[in-house]
Structure 1
């Protein structure tokens, strides 16, 4: 008979994951109108490089400061088998995808590219569900559909705008960029228990360096230092901190659900554009906000509980023993014993377990369904 376990921390974990994903979306969505202000003084490709580098350098400085204050060396907490997943995430989403996007944008209308970029969240969910076998149900699928439809409404060309497809290849390049970011999201799920700041820092430094080299090769002109510093600061917040929060959300919600919440980023960006740049509050923006709110509600109100098995596992990540944040999956023994509520990180083992409780596809619930 399975044991019944419904720790209060399961609901807390869900709410924490949702909050992390939505704040990540808010920070990333804000990058679009703010970056638009910087595009008058630098090229799009070079700005992308500066945003990535600002993310990587800012997080590297933060990790160094954290290490000095704690007296402990900064570590990645990556297991030996996780390095290939991180490398795949960096080169698919940080290097390959931006290059494909730049190629497509240079040869097709921006409105058409914006529409196609909405495929990222769809492809992320499809890969998570059908390739990486992450569970979903009708409610989650409907929620994802509502959020994506809201994003399409938000980006649909206005009256008089025409998609001029002079060639199939530019569109395929943008779709390839979406696939690269979708793969990145799913690969990053594989390293979600590692130090999130290390994952985000690595992506920023490597992708930023590569994009900077490519921008220089195509003749981009170096902007003034105030623009460089502003781009770096924006990249640290909207790419670095946002990605750290996205990785943390993956631990609680899984790939598809995290990407669904993150898909509201265009709405946050559009709303900020209305407030900051004085753009019109259109019926499309109101409709998109309503659809996205419906999608978020469908996800937030999800209840998923059944008897399930946990296989034996050995890994390392930050966890809590006892107290309201204990998820019920870390009952290993410490010698000497640690106080209740202690949060720490170390390699530990999970014994096989079968029980029933409400759960989500977080780092400890990746079992198959059906």
Structure 2
């Protein structure tokens, strides 16, 4: 069934990440872009490490599936594309672009996520979703054009960051059944350490203690907590729709940039925002329902005993709900509104 919790997680993730863009722009004046990229992710990793280990210290029951050895290759690619490449390119773009425009350009992340999900991972797409994607692309193109024969360098850097994060989002889908705090923590710690080391090797200097604390807090909320919520959204919605809902992030960033940094509302900004907003509405108002087949499946993730989880428990399986353990799904045919979540990654005929 359509999951309102997944939609809420994706939108909250977008709000936190959207707010981080003008805040990072505000802090960039005194910090090297490469150093900023490293510190943002390191702030996310350290903050989430505190959350992760505090759960163990107070002996909270484990309700999320841990990462397994088979997840390591996917996690490495996620860190490389989204933890190292994406933030570095964004900081380079922010250093050359005003914060409001940069925030709206981040809509390209949602478009890249959708395109890769539809083409590479065969998530279903219909005319409504496609029209929404083109509206988002049209808004981004209008915003990016500077009246020259080519796009400016800042725009290209931000577009490159969005492509990296689009790849990252689809690869993270492979990990979405595992503990989202553990995923985001490892991504932050590894990516932050790598970028920070490279920045120091290139001669970048550490910022002041006050700036360091501010960057760490922005990283924890805008990259760490936001990523945890994004993974929860992926689990329930699939990559394309989570990416579409995440398109709220640029509007949050653009509005904050106007009030915080004095950026101006231009006619182009308003038209581009309107096109992107219409595209987002087309996605969030979608309803997808048809008779579909669930093949036999065995996996491990947090769950309750709903219509898709009517399995027997062994003596070693955890009591109470929600809980996590390896379980089997019997073949099932039924009809209800749904998204391409963990249990609905089936193919579609031309009529759906």
TM-score normalized by the length of structure 1: 0.83
Tell me how far apart the structure 2 counterparts of residues 37 and 142 of structure 1 sit (CA, whole Å): 35
Q: Which residue of 2 aligns with 1:223?
A: 207
Q: Which residue of 1 aligns with 2:15?
A: 26
Report matched runs for 1:81-92 at 5 Å. 81-92=70-81
How much does 1:262 deviate? 1.2
Could you tell me which runs of 5 or more consecutive residues in structure 2 were left unpaired when the two chains were aligned: none
How much does 1:142 deviate? 1.4
Tell me how far apart the structure 2 counterparts of residues 199 and 21 of structure 1 sit (CA, whole Å): 16
1:348 corresponds to 2:327: yes
Tell me how far apart the structure 1 counterparts of residues 269 and 92 of structure 2 sit (CA, whole Å): 29
Tell me how far apart the structure 1 counterparts of residues 265 and 89 of structure 2 sit (CA, whole Å): 32
How much does 1:205 deviate? 0.6
Q: Which residue of 2 aligns with 1:212?
A: 196
Tell me how far apart the structure 2 counterparts of residues 78 and 338 of structure 1 sit (CA, whole Å): 18
- Pick from 297, 304, 319 the counterpart of residue 313 of structure 1: 297
Distance 1:74 1:96, change over 3 A: farther
Q: Once superposed, what is the RMSD of the aligned Cα atoms?
A: 3.1
Report matched runs for 1:255-294 at 5 Å. 255-294=239-278
Q: Which residue of 2 aligns with 1:124?
A: 113
Could you tell me which runs of 5 or more consecutive residues in structure 1 were left unpaired when the two chains were aligned: 1-9
Distance 1:242 1:110, change over 3 A: same
SS at match of 1:50: helix
How much does 1:58 deviate? 0.3
Indicate if the aligned counterparts of 2:93 and 2:155 stay in contact, CA closer than 8 A.
Answer: yes
Report matched runs for 1:1-370 at 5 Å. 10-11=1-2, 13=3, 15-72=4-61, 77-99=66-88, 110=97, 114=102, 119-153=108-142, 155-156=143-144, 162=148, 176-321=160-305, 326=306, 328-334=307-313, 342-370=321-349
Tell me how far apart the structure 2 counterparts of residues 194 and 265 of structure 1 sit (CA, whole Å): 25
Q: Which residue of 2 aligns with 1:3?
A: none
How much does 1:118 deviate? 5.0
Tell me how far apart the structure 2 counterparts of residues 293 and 362 of structure 1 sit (CA, whole Å): 24
Q: List per-residue Cα deviations over 1:39-94 (Å, max 9, x = no partner).
A: 22211111111101000000000111122223457976224432221111111221
Indicate if the aligned counterparts of 1:88 and 1:184 stay in contact, CA closer than 8 A.
Answer: yes
Indicate if the aligned counterparts of 2:63 and 2:323 stay in contact, CA closer than 8 A.
Answer: no
Tell me how far apart the structure 2 counterparts of residues 342 and 218 of structure 1 sit (CA, whole Å): 50
How much does 1:156 deviate? 3.4
Indicate if the aligned counterparts of 2:32 and 2:205 stay in contact, CA closer than 8 A.
Answer: yes
Tell me how far apart the structure 2 counterparts of residues 166 and 278 of structure 1 sit (CA, whole Å): 22
SS at match of 1:280: coil
Tell me how far apart the structure 2 counterparts of residues 39 and 62 of structure 1 sit (CA, whole Å): 27
Distance 1:42 1:103, change over 3 A: closer
How much does 1:348 deviate? 1.0
Tell me how far apart the structure 2 counterparts of residues 39 and 143 of structure 1 sit (CA, whole Å): 33
Indicate if the aligned counterparts of 1:254 and 1:361 stay in contact, CA closer than 8 A.
Answer: yes
Distance 1:282 1:174, change over 3 A: closer
How much does 1:335 deviate? 5.4
Indicate if the aligned counterparts of 2:144 and 2:155 stay in contact, CA closer than 8 A.
Answer: no
TM-score normalized by the length of structure 2: 0.87
Indicate if the aligned counterparts of 2:317 and 2:325 stay in contact, CA closer than 8 A.
Answer: no
Distance 1:89 1:337, change over 3 A: closer
SS at match of 1:235: helix
How much does 1:358 deviate? 1.4
Tell me how far apart the structure 1 counterparts of residues 223 and 117 of structure 2 sit (CA, whole Å): 22
